[in-house]
């Protein structure tokens, strides 16, 4: 199980300097709007993934008027006792801090440079930290996963697979880098393309190899993910609707190499690579109809929360460690029946440490039936 024991923030968002401890299985961060509840929750996420959940710009994490920030925390990844499908106990990679006092993770960013260390040893590559600790965030703006464009859904799937498959992460990074290079080539030569280009052939080959791997892993992921999603949706909604997720990719009909060859003239005209796994999407269905267009607000919320809970369980099953569950301002977004169903789920044995935010401590205390096992942090 992944847990965080403490965290210290220096010049992070609205915090000049502050420290917090998490001694209980459930921590509730309370305070008025603007007090820093979400920022503290995001700092926990940052320690797990070396990036913010809410912004891609590092500068946005810096306290106003400062030139950098520091986030330090003690994370623990206890050895799992779960068993695999074949009944054999897993053999996770030995990890410093996996037992005992935990591992001290320090993330620093100053004037465009990021540094990351574990127990005083600096990482050579930031990507070596990905997959070591896991957290799942549920936040109000997550509804964009359902309502907005395909890029957010690709990022969501990629973030899950990048934690569980190191080769996937490496191939995805390489694919995105070469895609930019190919697009730059198309811009440079769109008026007068050479008849033969070893450079273009190299780009096509790398995109074809990595694209095939990415497509295969995304396809397998949805097959494993769907039963989890369907089970959580039924538990949250109590409904009888049949839900499904359809993975839409041009690679289902053609290989990546053929796609690049057949679309070359169009790519030149558009000055960008128009087909490939970077255009993939997932359609969420309820009784055969797209949830995005035809689902009610309640149905969309049930679908979204089921997706995030399924993500949690998928990571737990693959990594053999329960992630930290981070819930931002959810009590104002759910009706009573869905809230009760969610609380039943997250207080069950399948879930580990939970950190949540709310403006009213009394509401949380009432929802959980008291203060036992809950640490309240008032800002």
CATH for 95 = 3.40.50.300
Q: What is the pLDDT of residues 330-373, one digit of tens each?
A: 887 788 888 899 999 999 999 999 999 999 889 889 888 889 99
Considering the domain architecture, whether residues 196 and 248 belong to the same structural domain is answered as yes
Give the integer Cα–Cα distance in Å for 355 and 7. Answer: 13
Considering the domain architecture, whether residues 67 and 147 belong to the same structural domain is answered as no
Give the integer Cα–Cα distance in Å for 323 and 146. Answer: 23
Considering the domain architecture, whether residues 198 and 269 belong to the same structural domain is answered as yes
Burial 65-86 (b: 16+ CB within 10 A, else e): eeebbbbbbbbbbbbeeeeeee
Q: What is the mean pLDDT of residues 93-111?
A: 71
Q: For the chain, what is the radius of gyration of the CA atoms?
A: 22
CATH number of 275's domain: 1.20.1050.90
Considering the domain architecture, whether residues 270 and 335 belong to the same structural domain is answered as no
Is the pLDDT reported for residue 95 higher than 90?
no
Is the pLDDT reported for residue 88 higher than 50?
no
Supply the pTM of this predicted model. Answer: 0.92
Considering the domain architecture, whether residues 185 and 167 belong to the same structural domain is answered as yes
In three-state secondary structure terms, 250 is helix
Q: Which is more confident, 239 or 106? A: 106
Q: How many domains is the chain partitioned into structurally?
A: 2
Which pair of structure tokens corresponds to residue 198? 């070893």
Dihedral class, residue 242 (left if φ above 0, else alpha if ψ from -120 to 50, else beta): beta
Domain that holds residue 7: 1-134+321-379
For residue 119, the surrounding DSSP H or E stretch is: none
Give the integer Cα–Cα distance in Å for 122 and 101. Answer: 19
Considering the domain architecture, whether residues 232 and 367 belong to the same structural domain is answered as no
Give the integer Cα–Cα distance in Å for 272 and 361. Answer: 51
Considering the domain architecture, whether residues 172 and 161 belong to the same structural domain is answered as yes
Is the pLDDT reported for residue 82 higher than 60?
no
Taking residue 205's Cβ as centre, other Cβ atoms within 10 Å add up to 14
Q: What is the pLDDT of residues 146-183, one digit of tens each?
A: 999 999 999 999 999 999 999 999 999 999 999 999 99
Q: In sequence order, which residues have a C-beta less than 8 Å from that of residue 104 and are 6 or more positions away? A: 72, 73, 74, 97, 118, 119, 120
Is the pLDDT reported for residue 94 higher than 80?
no
Domain boundary, last residue among 319, 343, 367 = 319
Domain boundary, last residue among 274, 289, 319 = 319
């Amino acid at each position: 199980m992944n847990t965080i024991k403490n965290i210290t923030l220096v010049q992070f968002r609205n915090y000049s300097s502050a420290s917090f401890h998490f001694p209980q299985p459930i921590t509730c961060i309370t305070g008025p709007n603007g007090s820093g509840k979400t920022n503290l929750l995001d700092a926990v996420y940052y320690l797990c993934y070396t990036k913010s959940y809410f912004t891609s710009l590092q500068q946005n994490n810096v306290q106003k008027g400062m030139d950098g920030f520091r986030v330090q925390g003690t994370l623990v990844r206890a050895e799992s006792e779960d068993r695999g499908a074949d009944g054999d106990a897993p053999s996770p990679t030995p990890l410093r801090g996996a037992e005992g006092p935990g591992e001290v993770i320090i993330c620093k960013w100053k004037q465009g440079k990021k540094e990351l260390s574990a127990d005083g040893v600096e990482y050579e590559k930031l990507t070596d930290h990905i997959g070591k600790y896991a957290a799942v965030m549920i936040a109000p703006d997550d509804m964009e996963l359902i309502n907005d464009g395909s890029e957010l859904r690709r990022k969501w799937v990629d973030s899950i697979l990048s934690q569980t498959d190191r080769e996937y992460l490496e191939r995805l990074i390489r694919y995105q880098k070469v895609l930019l290079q190919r697009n730059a080539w198309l811009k440079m030569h769109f008026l007068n393309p050479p008849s033969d280009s070893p450079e273009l052939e190299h780009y096509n080959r790398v995109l074809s190899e990595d694209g095939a791997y990415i497509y295969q892993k995304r396809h397998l992921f949805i097959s494993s993910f769907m039963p989890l999603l369907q089970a959580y949706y039924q538990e949250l909604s109590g409904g009888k609707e049949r839900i499904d997720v359809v993975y839409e990719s041009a690679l289902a009909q053609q290989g990546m190499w053929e796609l690049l060859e057949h679309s070359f003239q169009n790519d030149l005209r558009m000055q960008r690579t128009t087909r490939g796994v970077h255009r993939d999407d997932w359609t969420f269905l309820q009784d055969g109809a797209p949830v995005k267009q035809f689902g009610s607000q309640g149905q969309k919320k049930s679908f979204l929360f089921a997706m995030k809970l399924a993500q949690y369980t998928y990571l737990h099953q693959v990594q053999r460690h329960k992630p930290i569950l981070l819930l931002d301002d959810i009590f104002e977004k759910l009706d009573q029946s869905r809230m009760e169903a969610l609380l039943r789920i997250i207080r069950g044995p399948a879930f580990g440490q939970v950190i949540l935010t709310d403006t009213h401590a009394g509401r949380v205390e009432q929802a959980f039936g008291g203060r036992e096992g809950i640490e309240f942090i008032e800002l």
